[in-house]
Chains A and B, each alone.
Chain A
Amino acid sequence: MNENLHKKHTSEGTLFRFFQLNKWSLLIAAVAIAFILIGLLRANGDEVKTLLMKAINICMECIGIG
Chain B
Amino acid sequence: MDKIKTKKKISPNRRHLIQALGAAVFNGHFKGFISGSIYKGSLKSICVPVLNCYSCPGALGACPIGSLQAVAGSTKFNFSFYVFGLIALFGILAGRFFCGYLCPFGLLQDLLHKIPSPKIKVPAKLNRVLSFGKYLMLIGVVMLLPLIVRNSLGMSDPFFCKYVCPAGTIGGGIPLVVLNPAMREAAGSLFVWKVTLAIAILVLSVFLYRVFCRYLCPLGAFYGILQPVSFYRFKINNKCIDCGKCARVCKMGVDPVKSPNSPECIRCRDCIHECPTGAIESCFGFKPSKETSEEESHG
List A residues at the B interface (Cβ < 8 Å): 14, 17-18, 21-22, 24-25, 28-29, 31-40, 42-43, 46-52, 54-56, 58-66
Say whether A51 contacts B80, CB under 8 Å.
Answer: yes
A47 to B190, CA, bound (A): 29
Say whether B67 contacts A54, CB under 8 Å.
Answer: yes
Stretch with Cβ within 8 A of A (4 or more), from B13-21, B119-127, B180-188: B180-188
Return B8 CB to nearest CB of chain A, in Å.
Answer: 31
Q: How many A-B residue pairs have CB under 8 A?
A: 171
**Residue among A29, A48, A59 making CB contact with B161, cutoff 8 Å:** A59
Task: Answer yes or no: B263 CB below 8 A from chain A CBs.
Answer: no
Say whether A50 contacts B38, CB under 8 Å.
Answer: no
A56 to B173, CA, bound (A): 15
A59 to B194, CA, bound (A): 14
A8 to B12, CA, bound (A): 42
Q: How many residues of B contact A (CB 8 A)?
A: 57
Q: Which of A22, A25, A42 has the most CB of B within 10 A?
A: A25
Known: A24-B229, A25-B231. 19 other contacts (CB 8 A): A29-B93, A32-B85, A32-B86, A35-B82, A35-B88, A43-B77, A47-B76, A51-B70, A51-B80, A54-B74, A55-B44, A56-B41, A58-B38, A59-B54, A59-B66, A62-B162, A63-B53, A63-B194, A65-B187
Give a binary string over B28-63; 1 marks a CB under 8 Å from any A CB, 0 the rest.
000000000011111011000000011100000010
**Residue among A25, A29, A51, A62 making CB contact with B172, cutoff 8 Å:** A62
List B residues at the A interface (Cβ < 8 Å): 38-42, 44-45, 53-55, 62, 66-67, 70-71, 74, 76-77, 80-86, 88-89, 92-93, 157-158, 161-162, 165, 168-169, 172-173, 176-177, 183, 186-188, 190-191, 193-195, 226, 229-231, 285-288
Q: Tell me whether chain B's interface is mostly helix, strand or loop, or mixed.
A: helix
Say whether B173 contacts A65, CB under 8 Å.
Answer: yes
**Residue among A29, A43, A60 making CB contact with B89, cutoff 8 Å:** A29
Say whether A38 contacts B88, CB under 8 Å.
Answer: no
A65 to B183, CA, bound (A): 8
Write out the residue numbers on chain B whose beta carbons fall within 8 Å of the beta carbon of A28: 88, 92, 226, 229
Write out the residue numbers on chain B whose beta carbons fall within 8 Å of the beta carbon of A37: 85
Return A65 CB to nearest CB of chain B, in Å.
Answer: 5
Say whether A36 contacts B82, CB under 8 Å.
Answer: yes
Say whether B53 contacts A62, CB under 8 Å.
Answer: yes
A22 to B54, CA, bound (A): 34
Write out the residue numbers on chain B whose beta carbons fall within 8 Å of the beta carbon of A18: 285-288
**Residue among A31, A33, A52, A59 making CB contact with B45, cutoff 8 Å:** A52
